[in-house]
Structure 1
Amino acid sequence: MLLASLNASNELFSHLWATVLPEYITNTLLLALLVALLTLCFGVPAAALVSQTNLVMAKQLRWLLMLPLAMPAYLVAYLYTDLFDYAGPVQRSLRAWFGWQSPDDYYFFDIRTIGGAAIVIALVLFPYVYMLTRTAFEQQDRNLLRASRLLGCDQRQSFYQIALPLARPAIAVSLTLVVMETLADFATVQYFAVNTLTTAVYDTWLGYSDLAAANALASVLLLFILFVVVAEQRARAGQRHQSSRPNNQQQRKQLSIMQQLTASLFCWFLVLAGFLLPLVLLLIMVVDYADYSQFIALLSTGKNSIEIAFYSATIATIIALFLALFQRLHQSRSRKIPLQITSFGYAVPGTVLAMAMLATFGPIDHLINDLAKALDLKAPGLLLSGTVFAIVFAFVVRFSAIANGTINAGIGQIPKSLDFAPASLGVAMVPAIFRVHLPLLKSSILVAWLLVFVEAMKELPAVLLLRPFNFETLSTQVFQLISDERLEQGALGAVLIVLFGLLPIILLNRQKDSQ
């Protein structure tokens, strides 16, 4: 992709730089900053309330606050636009109640702005901050908090001076994930007409038909991602972890009645705005508009989505399992490098990854066809860049980090002694892996496969750029209908995407409760 960008037309790139590119860069940075601040304001207080206080229904809110992750941001964007737009039910009701006749008679916020996009994206991404921060709070050494109390700190001071600084690494990691997902977002900003680098890549290629210039813009976006990753790592450099054997006995802060009411309203607002209200609106559309023709159309696109997600999840899980076992059982000093390299892909936005796939597979396809012609054989066409191979390849690259992390964490829980016990009984390494390690990793393998499967079902930008002609998935079909203001006809497919997104959340919550 970087090499292809060197062939970009200086005239077109200069024109973009003189006209719209500065605005695209400014919007990209501003959107990432706003989303990071909002997710911080949403996720950290929610994590503190659930883990540190006697919040009413804390056990239920513990997993309910994770549900917005199952809701694609572009669905929430459409549903809230339909709800709060001038022709939507909220403003219609206000005009009917107060007798207003035109927009000049009252003020109502415009959701189709960069601020509206930031709020929508933050509502579905704050669970990243919430989950990692909550886990950090729950695993902290309570003896440190008790020591601060003995030194004269009250509960509020202990939280701000001890608990919150100890959670900084988890907050930094979660904010990095949020910023990367924001920079990778395409559908939400496209629907809200907020021009960012992601939309610029898409428009430059399809609008100007200039693949080289699109590669150049994708390279700029990739530099932004690299800056975020490096900044996060430098921010955590030198920080030491606390005791590896923390005292987790909880001493929760007792909230007053007014504090309970405020905290409950805050947490339930996040659940309602990020998941429950959009889901209810989707279900209403399904009841009002779903018919047999929609169901038939859903079978074809659903089959395509499941097929691609199945291949991607299976390949990514097998690779992650092989590399994790290699890192665990091999004695080479460089045994960690393959697993680390395959984890880089998650930082690359789907749009940039698609451009990289096209820049790589396109020339290879042309080389294969030229070679076939030279040998008087039938040209095979676009074997790599024009088939689902490119989509599956991109998904495996992008989501391998998820499978790597899950399986590596599972292997870390297997005692080292089990690596040597089979050898002492005369069992070779490969049979030992099948008899010992794989049975113990069944749960981790299932979670890894399911997480990649769901992410592949939801992925949109890479599929939009890499799909073959007349090939639709659930995500592309729903997005196309949203772009045409016809989500009602795709509401059934949208509900299916959300239901698939709930599967790993339910599974992870059950695993947590069983521990």
Structure 2
Amino acid sequence: MSIGISLSGPRRSPLAWRPSTFLVFAALLGAGLALLPVLALAYTALSPQAASIWPHLAANVLPAALADTSRLLLGVGVLCALIGVGTAWLVTQYEFPGRRPLEWLLVLPLALPTYITAYVYVEMLGFQGPFQSALRALTGWRSLRDYWFPDPRNLPGAIVIMALVLYPYVYLSVRALFGLQAAAIVESARTLGAAPGRLFWRVGLPMARPALAAGLTLALLETLNDIGASEYLGVRSLTLSIYTTWINRNSLAGAAQIACVMLLLVVLLMVAEAHLRGQRRFALPVRQPRAVGRRPLAGWRAAAATAACALPVLFGAVLPIAFLGSEVLQRGLWQQFDAAMLRSLANALAFSGLAAGLVVLLGVGIAAARRQGREPWLPALSRVAGLGYAVPGTVLALGLLVPLAAFDNLVADAARRWLGVNLGLLLIGSGAALVLAYLVRFLAIAVSGVESGLSRISPRIDDAARTLGASAPQVMRQMHWPLARPAVAAAALLVFVDCLKELPATLLLRPLNVETLATTVYGHASRGAFEDGALAGLLIVLAGLYPAYRLARAGGRAG
């Protein structure tokens, strides 16, 4: 998905149908679900019992959390921009050894959650890890008093580790735009004698600014959403402060107040993204644009380009996956594939599969309503429905807990009074709350994916069908669905994997005594024994490899 690049949507036909009641209901439901946690947070944060908590938070919690979060966002943003833009420019403009496989291998770090990569690097760079063990074997050193070795458990370590996982957001966005540039623009600049550096700074980078803004926004939103890596690496982020205030200090109102501050930071990010993108719009010719001719590199320049593209893949994907696989084999962790692991896997698949199905169903309804409808408020509803992706999982879980708990208590009281039975917590206790959190958080992916598929279908098809007397359901079923089905399938796959990786919302809204793969990994890491959770972590990573590969190949074809 992308934020901020395609806001106008497909052109509406003057012969457009009026959307059915179901489609209008889908658009209203999506917007309502996105607004529900925000309104609930505001209500909780402004409650009378919360007034006495704010002075303590403002004096003791927020300054350190805001400082660490700001430095984390700045560092991750700079590194993601450097790696993503640099590698995208190299693979689209130059020919060098290994360029073709590296073009899609650069996307693979997206398959790894940030918290798993953080756990892996703490283990690999630790005193008993392979790097320090090899260094002591080569030099004869015995203890840390004999040498210095970098410790990733600090803010700089968190910045580097998160950037290694999140730079593909920038890489994918910018590579698509670099690949779609009209060849005449770049080749004209080359004909006029523009040096490679000048070509990049004066032509390539200004054209890529909207894509860079969108990719950076996604990377920074994922940084804000993280809780496992921040906690494990010792960064006092706002997300971690919400979790500790809510769970450890048992202060729901205080957590809601911190969450409101975090939402303000999200709004600032979105405003900054819009400002960085500006009013720039780039149109391509109607005919298929000719690809930019790649300049061949030789000698040390070719080696440097290969190394620059291979190192992010090596440190962002290859080493973590190899470490997880070696831990599973050397420690015999395959024996953990017992009844408990099967239950965790089944729970993860069930929650993720159900959420993916509901997300795509609702996303299809919202996108179809926006395409078919002539009402000016339908595009606004679709944008509101997509705002859930900008809300971090911890904030989302906190915002949903209040209204869902109130609903559960209301139903339970009515059942005891009128039926004499105790139904318990219907939504929170059954896992429905977790599925609802997934639905709100990842609805934007489905809406964006379906709209991108429908935007490839000319509105003239709708005009011709309308003229011939076809109904809207017939056109959707016989023409729109076959053409948009690949985009819908890709969106469902991405939502499924994102649900598997999601930790904050899963950690806070899962039913009691219910584990998933993500919470299993987190549980082992919180006890200081992450290596025992290597099998669960490897299963999560393997589940994300195929979608990452498909995403890379799709981006390459688009380019």
Coarse TM-score class (shorter-chain normalised): over 0.9
Change in CA separation of 1:293 and 1:64 when aligned onto 2, cut-off 3 Å = closer
8 Å contact kept, 2:176–2:556 = no
What is the Cα deviation at residue 70 of structure 1? Answer: 0.1
What is the Cα deviation at residue 13 of structure 1? Answer: 3.5
Of 188, 191, 195, the match for 2:236: 195
Of 387, 403, 422, the match for 2:430: 387
> Which residue identity is paired with 1:249?
A
8 Å contact kept, 2:356–2:496 = yes
In the alignment, does 2:266 pair up with 1:225?
yes
8 Å contact kept, 2:107–2:549 = no
8 Å contact kept, 1:320–1:339 = no
Residue 24 of structure 2 corresponds to which residue in structure 1? none
What is the Cα deviation at residue 513 of structure 1? Answer: 6.4
Q: How does 1:72-83 map to 2 (within 5 A)?
A: 72-83=113-124
In the alignment, does 2:464 pair up with 1:421?
yes
Q: Higher RCO, 1 or 2 (CA under 8 Å, sep at least 6)?
A: 2
What is the Cα deviation at residue 11 of structure 1? Answer: 4.4
> Which residue identity is paired with 1:6?
L
Of 534, 537, 554, the match for 1:494: 537
> Which residue identity is paired with 2:290?
N
Separation in 2, partners of 1:189, 1:330: 44
What is the Cα deviation at residue 300 of structure 1? Answer: 0.5
Of 360, 374, 394, the match for 2:403: 360
What is the Cα deviation at residue 244 of structure 1? Answer: 4.2
Residue 249 of structure 2 corresponds to which residue in structure 1? 208
Change in CA separation of 1:375 and 1:497 when aligned onto 2, cut-off 3 Å = same
Residue 149 of structure 2 corresponds to which residue in structure 1? 108
1:412-445 CA-partner distances (Å, limit 9, x unpaired) = 1112222133334433221232122112222112
Of 314, 319, 322, the match for 1:280: 322
Q: How does 1:29-178 map to 2 (within 5 A)?
A: 29-178=70-219
1:316-344 CA-partner distances (Å, limit 9, x unpaired) = 10111111111112222223122211111
| Greater displacement, 426-435 / 158-167 | 426-435
Kindly report the root-mean-square deviation, in angstroms, between the aligned alpha carbons of the 2 structures: 1.9
Residue 3 of structure 1 corresponds to which residue in structure 2? 43
In the alignment, does 2:502 pair up with 1:459?
yes
What is the Cα deviation at residue 497 of structure 1? Answer: 0.7
What is the Cα deviation at residue 154 of structure 1? Answer: 2.8
| Greater displacement, 501-510 / 344-353 | 501-510
Consecutive unaligned residues in structure 1, runs of 5 or more: none
> Which residue identity is paired with 1:263?
A
Count of aligned residue pairs for this structure pair:
515
In the alignment, does 2:279 pair up with 1:258?
no
Residue 269 of structure 1 corresponds to which residue in structure 2? 311
TM-score, structure 1 normalization? 0.95
Consecutive unaligned residues in structure 2, runs of 5 or more: 1-40
| Greater displacement, 260-269 / 99-108 | 99-108
Separation in 2, partners of 1:243, 1:439: 26
Change in CA separation of 1:223 and 1:511 when aligned onto 2, cut-off 3 Å = closer
Separation in 2, partners of 1:500, 1:60: 20
Separation in 2, partners of 1:352, 1:168: 30
What is the Cα deviation at residue 192 of structure 1? Answer: 1.1
Residue 392 of structure 2 corresponds to which residue in structure 1? 349
1:378-409 CA-partner distances (Å, limit 9, x unpaired) = 34222223331111111011001111111100
1:339-383 CA-partner distances (Å, limit 9, x unpaired) = 211111000000000001112212222233333445464342222
What is the Cα deviation at residue 5 of structure 1? Answer: 1.0
8 Å contact kept, 1:395–1:456 = yes
Separation in 2, partners of 1:249, 1:514: 11
Separation in 1, partners of 2:162, 2:444: 22
Change in CA separation of 1:293 and 1:127 when aligned onto 2, cut-off 3 Å = closer
Change in CA separation of 1:290 and 1:78 when aligned onto 2, cut-off 3 Å = same
Separation in 2, partners of 1:277, 1:247: 38
| Greater displacement, 37-46 / 86-95 | 86-95
8 Å contact kept, 1:357–1:385 = no
TM-score, structure 2 normalization? 0.88
